[in-house]
Chain A
Amino acid sequence: MSPAIGGTLNRVDGRAKVRGDARYSAEVPLTGLVHAVLVNATVASGRITSIDTAEAERADGVLAVFTHRNLDPVASVPKLLPSLAGLAAPGQTFFPMQDDAVHYSGQPIAIVVADTVERADHAGTLIRVEYATTPAITLLDQARDEAYVPERIFGGLLPGHGSRGDVAKALAEAEVCVDATYRFAPNHHNPIEPSASTAVWEDVDRLTIYDSTQGPNATQFTVAALLGLPPISIRVVSHAVGGSFGSKAMIWHHPALAALAARQVGRPVRLALTREQMFTSCGHREEQEQRITIGAGADGRITALRHHKLSLTSRFDDWAEPSLQSPAVAYSSPHYEGTYHLIRGNTITPTFMRAPGEATGMFALECAMDELAERIGIDPLELRLRNYSETDPESGHPWSSTGLKECYQRASELFGWRDRESRPRREGQWLIGSGMASALYPVTQPVNPQRARARLYNDGTAVVEAGVSEFGTGVFTAMTQVAADALGLPVERVRFVGGSSDLPNVTAAVGSAGTSAVGSAVHIAATQLRDELIGRAVADAHSPLHGADPGAVAVQDGRMVLRDRPDVGETYADMMARTLTPDAEVLGTWTPPPQDAGYGVHTFGAQMAEVAVDADLGVVRVRRMVGVFAPGRVLNRKTAHSQLMGGMLWGLGQALMEATRMDPRSGRWANASLGDYLVAVNADAPDVVVDTIEVHDEVVNPLGMKGVGEIGVVGAAAAIANAVHHATGRRQYELPITLEKLL
């Protein structure tokens, strides 16, 4: 039996998904179900002076209309903490509909509940709202003088400022200096499934919520705090989630609002956000600007790095995606200084979006590196190699594992980097150029122990459970493989069950840590269960393994055998039948190492891209992308490949088209639809080559997994922008690179 880990098992949920059998949170059939629709503020700042719901209440099919005047208030709003912590994780510390204040456009101000979603939606338009508006800030340019340096950002997890050495002096003394400012349009996640919650009160203190979430437990804890109920009162179920990219990483208002409405109307309530509401209800990547200053010697060796970021946050929270984290350790630079600057604006609190921080921070750094290479007159890859850091430049600790040099090497071979001409090629109207970038993404560890349960039945089949949700990453498939290998069973005899807060607690699957968190717990649970069964066999006088050293027993295809005499042994099923055992079960716990365990922990990779730019029309076509990554242990080559490739194409979208446009006059997004917010489509996708470098990592977790969810994004946009420069001689300081910038 060859190991399942590292293979290409097809998605265990693939069949249900392509047949349309998979149940998403807005599809769970329930008797007596009614529909809630949110009504949103149309101004960005001010107060509701009157809200007339009479006509809406009279409309056909309407059961109730809630506003701040009649919705039950929430008990308390928990502190903003990334859901990786495994605790309550509200997307922002403001909860709407508690009073008449309006802080951002799109803020929920009313809920209409009706028998059909269309009737609820229509009744919502019959509500008459008047506002006393106050001036709003929705763009950086409106309030640059109000910028401040926050003490901490990112839910308090990271400092607002950091430094080592004396950057000012080092910059002054540097032989070469690159100083560039990069601007980033706001971005929205746009998963294909808009978020939805269906709330059912089975009793006054028993609530079930079907929720589209990256963390059923996070929803449970957050709603418990908001409603003032103990966690035992709340069960959160998430059968299938149609993508997230971070939009479902934190717990926004809709599950609690659905629960409040359901309690007040006494019926199960479904609240599904519309596509347009997805632009104002679950955060976004904030508008931002980053200034990078690199000081280097004439040989290109970096002596100083200064990195400042200015971004827009909400009125309530000091949120910035952590763009400075990876750039600070990407290269060995003795002197460093990084500072976040925030402006408070009339927006929902921004949030995680795929490769949060790195997608923008590494863009800035890697474009500046390209400029440095040009200034010094060396190959961009050579510049990276000269600045390669053998240790974590911040702590001085060794890397838990790297593979970065091998990634450069392999990417370079696959791409043909050595044949890159220093001057671009021309093919008819097309200017052809190529560019590269390094990719770094931190390995974040869950703060708390992770649990999974493994149960073996007496026919030799096993069910393994943990409260993780499947939002398209393939985690249920990978967990089936991990459990199968640890138990010594073929994958067909293992079923993984997740997607419920009733199951053993694991953190929300965020920060590329989902699979490793639950995978470690599953591995431990299944390994302990196997060991327990081996232990029983060697202790059983009737077993052929009686008296054997447990360490000398292995399990193959459900049969416990002596490692050096595979003919001696018996199956799990035989032993359990003989001993009249219906099943055996173990709860496994993985206690993650502390984040600072004496190692630098990052995932590394290298990205290369070739573009063709229409010399007259400015159109950029990405022709080829090569991404090589060292994500530690790869559980499933197929799903990992898809994640990495999807990440690279996501980077292509970031580079060339993704932008949400704010109209500062109204404080509203001007393109809140999938027709107007452009994401890359198949026709944009170039030839993409993905490869991985195996690195063995004993520090991060028992299986040595470092995660594949986000690293594929990192550096992709920078490689494209650098290729555009190579092709055209024009540096790109603003994303997305739309054609007018190249006319």
Chain B
Amino acid sequence: MRPVSYSRAFDVGTAVGAVSADPESTFLAGGTTQIDLLRIYVEQPRRLIDINDLPLNRVEELPDGGLRLGGLARMSDVAEAPELVRRYPMVAESLLLGASPQLRNMATIAGNLLQRVRCGYFRDTEAACNKRVPGSGCSALDGINRGHAVLGTSDNCIATHPSDLAVALVALDAVVQTEGPGGARSIPIDDFFLLPGQTPEREHPLAHGELVTGIDLPPAPVAATSRYIKIRDRESYEFALASVAVAIAVDGGRITEVRLALGGVATKPWRARAAERELDGAPATTESFTRAAAAELAPAVSHGMNAFKIELARRTIVRALEQMTQREVAA
């Protein structure tokens, strides 16, 4: 990797000040994405500001009955936080189904949301990639794209957003808390992830040096009956081919409330609003689920090797909804 200088920050102000003052510097959290990218020259900062000593690693109660996940809380700690497991099981599941135990012990919540795409061309500095080098082209459009997205794509980029956690968070309308050079702000999670459009290099609305301090989960009683299901090529240590976060309430056979989001198939963690509209008030039957899944995937576009993902996503949605509503279908 390129020679790089390293220092530690002990309070948020210093960390934000150090990075925002120097365009060639960046935050270092667990390093599980960052160090890999430094080693393969995809990211080449001159300076790393280690933020692991910042006091942002707790899971706390919010006055409104929600929970705050500290930006530097480790994936493994959050996944075991009793209140999270009780009130938002799909968040805990999304964490436990991600990466490996070793990675989860290092990786932070903020780092997870900010991890970079797994597209092989993004990671190969010899290949054309608009995300890495804007305007250079997208090698994945007619390349090896089995893992790529079918929703939210553009002609400039079709890389899948890799995070599992983020899928559960968009279903819950979480709010990202930041502290930047211009002060603190709250960003609704759906606005936190940008579609590639014409500018795939821009993945978040963060200013340079803006630090993610925490993620707020609003109170959501429906989330107590929720789950995250993940379909992948091997049983552990692998990203999703398709995943679904679902929280649902059914009364008298009708769906009274539903939150649905998709992972593994879209360029951002995908809130399935079209499906939610179909499901709202509908009978909790496979027929409704199938219709909802079809509605969500209607705008999907595939690029060759990833064509199967459209059908896989539909079926995974139906499976998730069936499992939540018809408990006899085995997991």
**CB-defined contacts of B121 to chain A, threshold 8 Å:** 670
Knowing A42-B126, A427-B330, A617-B312, say if A739 contacts B319 (CB, 8 Å).
no
Given the known inter-chain contacts A60-B3, A676-B120, please indicate yes or no for A683 contacting B235, CB distance below 8 A. Answer: yes
Given contacts A668-B126, A681-B236, contact A743 B330 (CB under 8 A): no
Does B311 sit within 8 A of A, measured CB to CB? Answer: yes
A265 CB to closest chain B CB (Å) equals 22
**A740 proximal to B (CB < 8 A):** yes
Contact, CB under 8 Å: A666 / B126: yes
Q: Is the Cβ of A666 less than 8 Å from the Cβ of B127?
A: yes
> With the chains together, A616 CA to B234 CA distance in Å?
17
CB atoms of A619 and B143 under 8 A apart:
no
Cβ contacts under 8 Å, A682 to chain B: 236
Give A119's nearest chain B residue, CB to CB.
Answer: B3
- Judge whether B231 and A739 touch: CB under 8 Å: yes
Asked if residues B315 and A657 are in contact (CB atoms below 8 Å), the reply is: no
A661 touches B144 (CB 8 A): yes
Whether a CB of chain A sits under 8 angstroms from the CB of B6 is: no
State A485–B126 Cα separation when bound (angstroms).
Answer: 58
Minimal Cβ-Cβ distance residue in B for A43? B126
Please judge, given known A-B contacts A617-B231, A668-B126, A676-B120, whether A681 and B237 are in contact too, CB under 8 Å: yes
| Contact call B308/A663, Cβ cutoff below 8 A | no
Residues of chain A lying within 8 A (CB to CB) of residue B318: 616
User: Bound complex: CA of A427 vs CA of B330, how far in Å?
Assistant: 9
Tell me which of A429, A665, A684, A743 contacts B235 (CB under 8 A): A684
Q: How far is the CB of B140 from chain A (nearest CB, A)?
A: 10
Give bound CA distance, A405 to B41, whole Å: 57
Q: How many residues of B contact A (CB 8 A)?
A: 33
What 1/0 mask marks residues of chain A from 678 to 722 whose CB sits below 8 Å from any chain B CB? 101111100000000000000000000000000000000000000
Of A42, A60, A657, A665, the residue contacting B234 (CB under 8 A) is A657
Complex Cα gap A616–B311 (Å): 10
Asked if B235 and A681 make an inter-chain contact with CB atoms under 8 angstroms apart, the answer reads yes
- Residue numbers in B under 8 Å from A621 (CB-CB): 235
Distance in angstroms from A107 CB to nearest chain B CB is 14
Known A122-B3, A671-B120, A671-B144; judge A678-B238 contact (CB<8 A): yes
326-349 of chain A: CB within 8 A of chain B: none
Are the C-beta atoms of B144 and A617 separated by less than 8 Å?
no
- Of B1, B121, B139, B235, most buried by chain A (CB within 10 Å of CB) is B235
Contact check, A678 vs B233: say whether CB atoms are below 8 A apart. yes
Give CA–CA (A661, B305) in the complex, Å.
12
A686 to chain B, nearest CB (A): 10
- Do the beta carbons of A428 and B3 come within 8 Å of each other? no
Interface pair B124/A668, CB less than 8 Å apart: yes
Inter-chain contacts of A680 with B (CB < 8 A): 234
Q: Which residues of B are at the interface with A, using a C-beta cutoff of 8 A?
A: 1-3, 40-41, 118, 120-121, 123-124, 126-127, 139, 143-144, 146, 231, 233-238, 241, 308, 311-312, 315-316, 318-319, 329-330
Q: List 5 A-B contacts (CB under 8 A).
A: A656-B234, A681-B234, A681-B236, A684-B236, A743-B312
Given pairs A621-B235, A666-B127, 10 additional interface contacts (CB within 8 A): A427-B330, A429-B330, A665-B143, A666-B126, A668-B124, A670-B121, A673-B123, A678-B238, A681-B236, A738-B233
- 4 shortest interchain CB distances as A-B pairs: A683-B235, A740-B308, A683-B236, A428-B330
